[in-house]
Amino acid sequence: MIPLDEARGAVLARCAPAAAITVPLDAALGHVIAESIRSTEFVPPFANTAMDGFAVRAADTVGASDAPVTLRLVGTVRAGMSGLDSPVGAGEAVRIMTGAPMPPGADAVVMVELAGASADGSSVQIAAEVPVGNHVRPAGDDIEPGDLLLEAGTALTAAHLGVLATIGVGHVVVVPRPRVGVISTGDELIDDGSPLAPGQIRDSNRLTLRSLLSASGFETIDLGLVRDDEDAIEAALLAGVASCDALVTSGGVSMGDFDFIKVVLDRIGDMRWMQIAIKPAKPLAFGTITRPSDGEAVPVFGLPGNPVSSMVSFELFCRPGLRQMSGFGAAQLDRPTVMAIAEEPLARRPDGKIHFARVRCAYDLDSATYRVRSSGAQGSHHMASMAAADALAVLPDGPAIAAGDAVRVMLLTL
């Protein structure tokens, strides 16, 4: 058995980030940006009002909190107007709507709630003394030309895209995310909804793995179900590397006589078959197959067939590797990890392996701690407890974690 870190290192060493491409802003969400962005514009581009109300000269409102002052109304500006022709003079006010440019001459806004226009609209009574700049958003108040808005390596969020749209950026240079083909292998599997014949089970891994991939932002290609047959597996892998940037297979990587994924991957690719000191998900066949058309080394993740093993292996190797291909940095590859308090013992025996226990993890506001409980039976075929889990507790080699002990937890839903 090799340590988990060594296996991860072997995988990550061969998951190189893809070459950056230019995409329109509306296709960039979730991608890692490959360039730093500085603003070339002022935001807001012009001084404007944050409130509906009246643009005034602050000096004209002195004392208005004690005795209201009356100002002559000389116009209206609304959002989208370029401004006013003549400046606001002493004793004058302009009706103004949120987002409208400040008229020249005015230096403050009195919100509509503190003012009352006369019935004929010729004047307004101001009931508050306001300082210069009241409710005014100056040009460049938010962003100025030259401000560093995004650093290369940032994963683009909705707010990042909003900022880029604000300064008029239409395209960005990002690292594309891999298209990932998914293959199930096993003579016992069916996927056509027919009743089970003796010895058969339904293929669940393909849908689970494709769903994990989509939920992580990757495009997935269904490459179907392949029998435990060397030629069929070879044909499926070769077809897969022709059309995908990475492949994920399940099954056929253990010690059995019909575990052909590792055999074929070794023959047609550059593969390392690993026995990793973890439970579940001990075996992993990871390698690359060279795509004949362009010489690209396409990563192939040969995950174990047991449903929980395939999911844990996905979390530990596949998702980090694919995220690295997508441009994420070393600190961004994994799910978030927190320390939690075990509310009950988390069973295990010393066996030289790190165990990943399916748990439910909740944040307790009163004690300001995460708390975990087992989500059920921990066999690698026990899917029900995986479905009930929202986290994996990382149990180091040794005896059980006792109730009340702290334990590291990977949160699977973030």
Binding site for Mg ion (CB under 5 A): 186, 251, 305
Q: Across the strands, what pairs with 9?
A: none
The nearer residue to Mg ion, 201 or 215, going by C-beta atoms, is 201
Q: Which is nearer to ligand AMP, 307 or 320 (CB)?
A: 307
**Binding-site partner at residue 96 among ligand AMP, Mg ion, none, CB < 5 to 8 Å by type:** none
Q: Please check whether residue 257 is in contact with residue 195, taking contact to mean a CB–CB distance below 8 angstroms.
A: no
The CA distances from residue 408 to 200, 359, 382, 385, in Å, are 38, 11, 22, 19
Judge contact between 395 and 315, C-beta under 8 A: no
| Residue type at position 346 | L
Q: Which is nearer to ligand AMP, 52 or 188 (CB)?
A: 188
Residue whose CB is less far from ligand AMP, 2 or 190 = 190
The entry of ligand AMP, Mg ion, none that residue 203 binds, CB within 5 to 8 Å by partner kind: ligand AMP
Q: Is 264 helix (H, G, I), strand (E, B) or coil?
A: helix
Compute the radius of gyration of the chain from its Cα atoms.
31
In the bound state with ligand AMP, the residue whose beta carbon lies nearer, of 308 and 409, is 308
Question: Which among Mg ion, ligand AMP, none contacts residue 92 (Cβ within 5 to 8 A by kind)?
Answer: none
CB-based closest residue to ligand AMP? 305
Footprint of ligand AMP on this chain (CB under 6 A)?
Answer: 184, 186, 188-189, 201, 203-206, 250-252, 254, 256, 259, 304-307
Distances (CA, A) of 406 to 340, 344, 397: 5, 11, 15
Q: Which does 189 bind (CB under 5 to 8 A by kind): Mg ion, ligand AMP, none?
A: ligand AMP
Q: Could you tell me the smallest distance in angstroms from the CB atom of residue 186 to ligand AMP?
A: 4
The least distance separating Mg ion from the CB of residue 318, rounded to whole angstroms, comes to: 18
Task: Specify the residue, 90 or 201, whose C-beta has the smaller distance to Mg ion.
Answer: 201
Distance CA 173, CA 44 (A): 25
Number of neighbouring beta carbons within 10 Å of residue 168: 11
Residue 177 or 210: the one with the smaller Cβ distance to ligand AMP is: 210
Nearest approach, Cβ of residue 283 and ligand AMP (Å):
8
Residue 204 binds what, of ligand AMP, Mg ion, none (CB under 5 to 8 Å, by partner type)?
ligand AMP
216 binds, among ligand AMP, Mg ion, none (CB under 5 to 8 A by kind): none
Give the Cα-Cα-Cα angle 161, 162, 163 (nearest 5 degrees).
Answer: 90
Residue 347's binding partner out of ligand AMP, Mg ion, none, with CB under 5 to 8 Å set by partner kind: none
In the complex, minimum distance from the CB of residue 253 to ligand AMP, in angstroms, rounded to a whole number: 6
In the complex, the smallest distance separating the C-beta of residue 317 from ligand AMP, rounded to whole angstroms, is 15
Q: Are 137 and 101 in contact (CB under 8 A)?
A: no
Closest to ligand AMP by CB, 256 or 396: 256
Least distance from C-beta 395 to ligand AMP, angstroms?
22
Taking the least distance from each CB to ligand AMP, the nearer of 102 and 183 is: 183
Least gap, CB of 282 to Mg ion (angstroms): 15
Identity (one letter) of the amino acid at 118?
A: S
Say how many C-beta atoms besides its own lie within 10 A of residue 392's C-beta: 26
Among Mg ion, ligand AMP, none, partner that 184 touches (CB below 5 to 8 angstroms by kind): ligand AMP
Separation of alpha carbons 106 and 89, rounded Å: 8
160 binds, among Mg ion, ligand AMP, none (CB under 5 to 8 A by kind): none
- To ligand AMP, the closest distance from the beta carbon of 206 in angstroms equals 6
Q: Give 80-126 as a 3 state SS string.
A: CCCCCCCCCCCCEEEEECCCCECCCCCCEEEEHHHEEECCCCCEEEE
Q: How far is the CB of 209 from Mg ion (least distance, A)?
A: 15
Q: Annotate 26-57 with DSSP letters as a single string.
A: GG-TTPEESS-EE--S-BSSS-EESSSEEEE-
CA 351 – CA 389 distance, rounded (Å): 24
